[in-house]
């Protein structure tokens, strides 16, 4: 478990970035995975 600063994405479980910075989470390019970016 080599997490840099403890920043582990809870979306893809990959250390190095947060969920809000997850490239595979909410990109806003018509993704709509969980429906987070669907209303703002």
pLDDT for res 40: 54
Q: What is the largest CA-CA distance in the chain?
A: 36
The whole-model pTM stands at: 0.41
Task: Give the residues of the chain that fall short of pLDDT 70.
Answer: 1-5, 25-40
* 3 contact partners, CB below 8 Å, separation of at least 6: 15
Burial of 31 (0-12, 13-18, 19+ CB in 10 A): middle
Residue 37 CA to chain centroid, in angstroms? 12
């Amino acid at each position: 478990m080599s997490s840099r600063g403890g920043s582990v994405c809870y979306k893809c479980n990959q250390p190095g970035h947060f969920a809000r910075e997850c490239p595979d989470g909410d990109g806003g390019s018509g993704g709509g995975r969980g429906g987070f970016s669907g209303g703002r």
